[in-house]
């Protein structure tokens, strides 16, 4: 799950302000967010260190990244401003003459170290570089000189923005080729656009949480279905014992008493119906055709029920010397196999393309939209 957001873009892209906005937004919504701006306080920057050669500087920077990752709070989301392309790569280009390939390899090394934090890069793309440069640099010779230095070229006071446009293309190309998750944002980041932007940046984080919650619900319903299957099987065996001779057997993979076969089959059907009904509504929240979905749910057991019968008999036979524990191992392992395979079958076959489409899911989605709208209204009032 994303625990590191790196905000990148040209010096005219308002990276610092946007990074700060993201951090504050996360804090307001219950996340433990830590924001580091460019400067000496940032744990991965060069600070005021100056090195005579690239190898020494690079090792220093990579070690700072290693230390940062190893000391990172596992519950926090870190928002860093310009710590990948802006610093240290831009400074390395200007002082040591790195070409684009070398910059890409350097970025890959940093991102490999940061991998435990599952980094995502937000690149603030400047659509009109010349206009932004004029607005940010107009009447300020020091600002113009800084922009010229950052662009890696000498510009006159007007600045045509061509070097910046080229640099922006190179930076976007480098990010694509490193393979890092990257969200390119061309709009102005405002209180209105911020929630959608943060949702995109943390999409994986939210998806993982959602799927873990889905798995937990499925587990609880599966356990309840297992209890129903055991209880109903025992009850049916007791009832059928009054009508059927227990010595009467049949072949179903293994030799089994007729009363046991009937009881276990009916109990299995009851557990399937229970599991399907509750998982359809509350776990997968699917709105697909019920008879078709129910048929698909039962089809899973056409091959699995015979396999289960064979597997239990085979494992119990192999472990007959340990008595009850052989039975426990056989039952326990087949339940785990059943749990995993049936979950995958339901998610990717029974409810494929229909997840989170029923009335309950739609109400939750509408509620989330209302909450976002209320938050925007509150910020507007402030």
- Which residue numbers in the chain have pLDDT < 70? 1-2, 40, 47, 87-88, 128-161, 205, 372-382
Domain ranges (residues) in the chain? 4-201, 208-365
- The CA distance from 264 to 341, in Å, is 20
pLDDT value of position 376: 58
**Which architecture does CATH list for 4-201?**
3-Layer(aba) Sandwich (3.40)
Q: What is the CA radius of gyration of the chain?
A: 30
Token reading at 64: 């700072």
pLDDT value of position 144: 44
Token reading at 168: 């922006």
Sign of CA dihedral 233, 234, 236, 241: positive
pLDDT value of position 375: 62
- The CA distance from 122 to 181, in Å, is 9
- Residues 328-364: b if buried by 16+ CB within 10 A, e if exposed: ebbeeebeeebeeebbebbbeebbeebbbebeebeee
User: Please, what is the angle between helix 54-71 and helix 100-114, to 10°?
Assistant: 20
State how far the alpha carbon of 139 is from the alpha carbons of 16, 85, 146, in Å: 22, 27, 13
User: Which tens digit of pLDDT belongs to each residue from 34-78?
Assistant: 999 987 688 988 767 778 888 998 999 999 999 999 999 988 999
- The CA distance from 92 to 6, in Å, is 19
> Is residue 129 within 8 Å of residue 164, measured between CB atoms?
yes
pLDDT value of position 378: 64
């Amino acid at each position: 799950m994303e625990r590191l957001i790196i905000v990148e873009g040209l010096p005219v892209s308002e990276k610092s302000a946007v990074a700060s906005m993201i951090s504050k937004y996360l804090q307001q919504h219950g996340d433990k967010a830590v924001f580091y701006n460019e400067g000496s306080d940032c744990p991965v920057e060069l600070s005021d260190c100056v090195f005579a050669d690239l190898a020494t500087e690079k090792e220093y920077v990579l070690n700072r990244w290693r230390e940062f990752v190893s000391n990172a709070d596992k519950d926090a989301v870190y928002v860093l401003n310009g710590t990948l392309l802006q610093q240290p790569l831009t400074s390395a280009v200007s002082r040591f003459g790195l070409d684009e390939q070398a910059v890409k390899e350097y970025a890959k090394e940093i991102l490999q170290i940061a991998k435990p934090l599952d980094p995502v890069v937000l690149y603030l793309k400047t659509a009109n570089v010349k206009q932004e440069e004029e607005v940010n640099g107009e009447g300020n010779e020091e600002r113009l000189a800084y922009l010229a230095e950052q662009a890696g070229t000498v510009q006159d006071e007007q600045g045509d923005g061509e070097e910046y446009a080229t640099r922006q293309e190179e930076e976007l190309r480098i990010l694509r080729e490193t393979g890092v998750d990257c969200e390119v944002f061309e709009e102005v980041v405002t209180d209105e656009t911020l929630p959608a932007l943060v949702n995109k940046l943390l999409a994986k984080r939210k998806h993982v949480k959602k799927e873990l919650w889905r798995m937990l619900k499925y587990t609880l319903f599966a356990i309840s279905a297992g209890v129903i299957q055991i209880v109903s099987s025992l009850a049916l065996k007791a009832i059928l014992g009054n009508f059927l001779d227990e010595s009467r057997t049949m072949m179903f993979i293994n030799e089994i008493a007729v009363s046991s076969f009937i009881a276990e089959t009916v109990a299995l059907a009851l557990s399937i119906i229970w599991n399907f009904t509750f998982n359809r509504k509350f776990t997968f929240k699917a709105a697909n055709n019920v008879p078709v979905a129910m048929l698909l749910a039962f089809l899973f057991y056409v091959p699995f029920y015979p396999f289960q019968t064979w597997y239990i008999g085979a494992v119990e036979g192999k472990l007959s010397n340990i008595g009850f524990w052989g039975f426990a191992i056989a039952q326990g392992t087949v339940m785990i196999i059943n749990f995993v395979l049936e979950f995958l079958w339901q998610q990717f076959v029974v409810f494929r393309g229909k997840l989170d489409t029923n009335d309950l899911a739609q109400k939750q989605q509408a509620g989330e939209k209302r909450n976002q709208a209320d938050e925007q209204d509150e910020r507007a009032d402030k």
